[in-house]
A and B are shown apart, each in its own frame.
Chain A
Amino acid sequence: MSRVGRNFVIAYIVLVGLPLVGLAGVLRSGRHLKAPVSVDGVWKIEAQNSSPGNHLCNAVSNLFNSPLLISQSGRSFEISSKGNPATSGVLDDKNLTSSMWTGSYSACGNGQITLAAVVDPTAEPRSLTGQLSFPGCQSCAPVDFRAVRQPKVQSGGGH
């Protein structure tokens, strides 16, 4: 083998071969990493304690009439539903918290809704149980809710 050829082989081993060994090591060690629990997707939400006497304001009724969309990025997420602007929230282990503005100043007080929920990662389909409260409305009682994640629609591919 010529000197140039030998140098090429050495350079190739050092600059390509060794990093690939490193890559294998990274992939191996990364398997033990834990990422936040998944809450991403479309959720069907239902009120648990809405008695006839407990009138829900329009914005909250809308919330229960349309699916809830959660777009997750690690520990933070964006939550939105039809008619309500998207708001951000934080996921701490299995606990979700978010503060939503409905834009409605009528029966919900100043329109602020606080969502606090716990995700059950063992349930299949995955479920959320929690409470919606209205910090700007003294007379509004909190509403308990339960949400179930809808199956993902495959975006094509596969057979």
Chain B
Amino acid sequence: MPNLFTLTLQLAVVLAVCRVVGELFRLIHQPKVVGEMFAGIMLGPSLLGWLAPHFSAYLFPPSSLGFLNALSQVGVVVFMFLVGLNINPGELKKESHAAVLTSHVSITAPFVLAAFLALYLYPRLSDESVAFTSFALFMGSAMSITAFPVLARILTERNMLGSRLGTVAIACAAVDDVTGWCILAYIVVLIRSAHSATSIWITIGGILVFGLAMIHGVRRLLRGFERSYKKKGALSENLMALMLLLVLASSLLTEYLGIHLLFGAFLMGAIMPKEHQFVRYVLDRFETITVTLLLPLFFAFTGLRTNVGLVKGPQMWMYCGLIILVATAGKLGGSTLASWLSGMPLREAAGLGTLMNTRGLMELVILNIGLDIGVISPALFSMMVLMALFTTFMTTPVLRLICGKEIEESASSKMVTRPASAPAMNLDNSESFVA
């Protein structure tokens, strides 16, 4: 049984610290989510545990972390459902050659560079229980991910959502996320099957059957939600509960099949009807409690697992610097080059590259999975968290530096077509970062 006093105290402290730091970050023109990520790190051994070890041990005793993790994972399951809900696969098909090339290069460039870096880091930061292939593929997928929700948030705040730059960025981020998660699913299956008696082919077969059933079967049934919403202008409590049940069932199935439960939540969101008003309605219902309470718990739990103290000595900091350099060169450089070759002006292309380099919360989700399945070590986890923070933090100032006000102004005058997922964006809600 959890100690209710400890758990309630943890919730209160996490909530308060995340709100305060989030607001402070907004003062320096950073999305609130970046502040919340920092707040999580501050509550962990990197700061609180270092400055006040006894208070830290009192506030977060090891025996309580299981409950904190369970609560935060529920939040991440709902969050992944909302991320999937925001992605509109139908709209992605309409994107131009430029967007297709940019999105694919923005995956392959960081992926390949990360694999090269893995050749150097594997003998230094891993151990023989992890196969090189799993290590390299994980590094690749972790570096090629883009924080779709944070990117949407930044574009919204800078009034760039309807611009060509915003449209291409959103489309590329969506492609990146779907691809990144597919690769990650493969890695999880690969690693878990090594410890499981079930053949990998049975697992892969099961996943394929599940995916096809979801896309071609369940997807049609889900239209009933949209029909009901159109008829009554709202969904009944029973229907909302049913939707949540479907998310949980899908999560459980993917967990049972040997991939992570987050994939099921993401897929359920991705196959939901994409009518603008309906998506916005569902987001409004789920977002508040997820974003306000549950996700800060995830940031805190991630922070508790992040120990910057493990990155000690010039050599370890050099590894960390290399990771940040490779991640930025691959994502920012690759996306800039591809969009520039596709005909985008250099400055706009660099802006797109900067946006694609935003990793944010999605990176933390992936890194936690990597640490859970043992494919990355605690020190590497901490370095990658620092990389996620650095690349997310740099987005707004670098974007301002590269694009200045020109692009933003032209963006607001060119609000012609909404991007792939823009209709689902909750533009009025400055609190939101899921949308």
Q: Is the CB of A78 within 8 A of B378?
A: yes
Q: Is the CB of B115 within 8 A of A73?
A: no
Residue contacts A-B, CB under 8 angstroms, 25 given: A11-B338, A11-B342, A16-B104, A23-B111, A26-B119, A26-B136, A30-B119, A30-B122, A31-B132, A33-B132, A34-B123, A35-B127, A36-B127, A38-B128, A38-B129, A40-B377, A72-B127, A72-B377, A73-B125, A73-B378, A74-B124, A75-B124, A78-B378, A158-B193, A159-B258
Known: A12-B104, A26-B116, A74-B379. A35 touches B126 (CB 8 A): yes
What residue of chain B has the Cβ atom nearest to residue A80's Cβ? Answer: B62
Q: Is the CB of B128 within 8 A of A34?
A: yes
* Interfacial residues of chain A within 27-66, with CB under 8 A of chain B in the complex: 27, 29-31, 33-40
Q: Is the CB of A74 within 8 A of B104?
A: no
A154 at the interface (CB under 8 A from B): yes
- Within the assembled complex, what's the spacing in Å between the Cα atoms of A12 and B99? 12
A125 at the interface (CB under 8 A from B): no
Known: A4-B97, A16-B104. A11 touches B341 (CB 8 A): yes
Number of interface residues, chain B, beta carbon within 8 A: 53
* Interfacial residues of chain A within 101-159, with CB under 8 A of chain B in the complex: 121, 152, 154-159
Q: Per-position contact with A for B190-228: 1 when CB-CB < 8 Å, else 0?
A: 001101101000010000000000000000000000000
Contacts of B14 in A (CB 8 A): none
B256 at the interface (CB under 8 A from A): yes
Q: Is the CB of A36 within 8 A of B128?
A: yes
Using CB atoms and an 8 Å cutoff, list the residues of chain B in contact with chain A: 97, 101, 104-105, 108-109, 111-112, 115-116, 118-119, 122-130, 132-133, 136-137, 140, 188, 192-193, 195-196, 198, 203, 255-261, 310, 334, 337-338, 341-342, 372-374, 377-380
What residue of chain B has the Cβ atom nearest to residue A159's Cβ? Answer: B256
Number of interface residues, chain A, beta carbon within 8 A: 39
Contacts of B128 in A (CB 8 A): 34-38, 121
Q: Is the CB of A157 within 8 A of B188?
A: yes
Interface residues of B, dominant DSSP: helix
Q: Is the CB of B257 within 8 A of A159?
A: yes
Contacts of A158 in B (CB 8 A): 192-193, 195-196, 198, 203, 256, 258
Q: Is the CB of B97 within 8 A of A159?
A: no
Q: Per-position contact with B for A66-83: 1 when CB-CB < 8 Å, else 0?
A: 000001111110100000
Partner of B337, one of A15, A38, A157, A159: A15
Known: A19-B109, A158-B196, A158-B198. A33 touches B104 (CB 8 A): no
What residue of chain B has the Cβ atom nearest to residue A76's Cβ? Answer: B379
What residue of chain B has the Cβ atom nearest to residue A155's Cβ? Answer: B372
What residue of chain B has the Cβ atom nearest to residue A15's Cβ? Answer: B105
